[in-house]
Structure 1
Amino acid sequence: MAVIFIRDLLLRTEVGFNPHELGKKQDVLLNIAIHYGLRGEEISDSPDDALNYKTLCKGIVRLVEDGHFNLLERLVNNVADYLLLNERILKVEVTADKPHALRFARSVAFSLEKKREIV
């Protein structure tokens, strides 16, 4: 199994349910680990064999920036579920930071690990 890391993906979305947050986009910082099965790309050096992380990232950007979330938990769960739609991806770890959510803290973060359900 291999891992691709997407680090410090800074996006803007509506996240929160307090009156001062409604209708306003806020920064969200995502860190993602994608565990997947290799198909020989480490030997072939062929882009056709590789997991296309650029396409995955574009989908995450659309999902998050076009969405509205009351909770970080829902945002993270939706990103994890989106990634697990790809049959090569076996497990994901997604962490979302909401900078300045608390007055004296750099950020508040939520993290979730999900695995592909084996049927």
Structure 2
Amino acid sequence: MAVYDVSQLATVRIKDLLLRTYIGIKDEEINNQQDVRINVCLTYDASDAIHRNEIESALNYRTITKQIIHHVDGNRFALLERLTHEVLAIVMEHQPVCWARVEIDKPHALRYAESVSVSLEAHRDH
């Protein structure tokens, strides 16, 4: 059997979370909900989850996703930067998270472009 080192730093990706919210500064944006697509990438030390194989030992990404949905869905934001910052703050509230990047797309925000996105990241020293 081969001997090798395995990193116990897990990468979790929440991909293409599609929500509707009020985002923007124009009247039609203030009065009508729009789609936003949220992508989260995070790392955490998964050594307990790997060794114990128990849900209590793992980062609960379902809880994180529910918190994001609750915060974004139907809420109001003037700027994509602010929305991205607030979603990143939700992710970083979870102490096991070492690093996270949140990217939020606003589809069809610009003529001739599929979407506009803002990305922010944060890290913590454990």
Indicate yes or no: 2:106 matched with 1:98.
Answer: yes
Structure 1: how far apart are the matches of 2:101 and 2:38? Answer: 10
Q: Secondary structure at the residue paired with 2:56?
A: coil
> Structure 1 unaligned runs (5+)?
none
| Residue among 9, 26, 48 paired with 2:17 | 9
Structure 2: how far apart are the matches of 1:39 and 1:102? Answer: 44
Higher helix share: 2
Indicate yes or no: 2:81 matched with 1:73.
Answer: yes
How large is the RMSD of aligned CA atoms in angstroms?
A: 1.5
1:33 Cα deviation (Å)?
A: 0.4
Matched-pair contact (CA < 8 Å) for 2:103–2:118: yes
Q: Percent identity?
A: 38
Q: Secondary structure at the residue paired with 2:66?
A: helix
1:48 Cα deviation (Å)?
A: 1.3
Alignment coverage as a number of residue pairs: 118
Q: TM-score, normalised by structure 1?
A: 0.92
| Residue among 52, 57, 67 paired with 1:49 | 57
For each residue in 1:67-92, what CA deviation from the matched residue of structure 2 results, as whole angstroms up to 9, or x when unmatched?
21111100010011111111111111
Q: Secondary structure at the residue paired with 1:21?
A: helix
Larger CA Rg, structure 1 vs 2: 2
Stretch of structure 1 that moved more, 20-29 or 36-45 = 36-45
Structure 2: how far apart are the matches of 1:19 and 1:31? Answer: 27
> Structure 2 unaligned runs (5+)?
1-8
1:35 Cα deviation (Å)?
A: 1.3
Q: Secondary structure at the residue paired with 2:101?
A: strand
Structure 1 runs of 4+ with >3 Å offset: none
1:44 Cα deviation (Å)?
A: 2.2
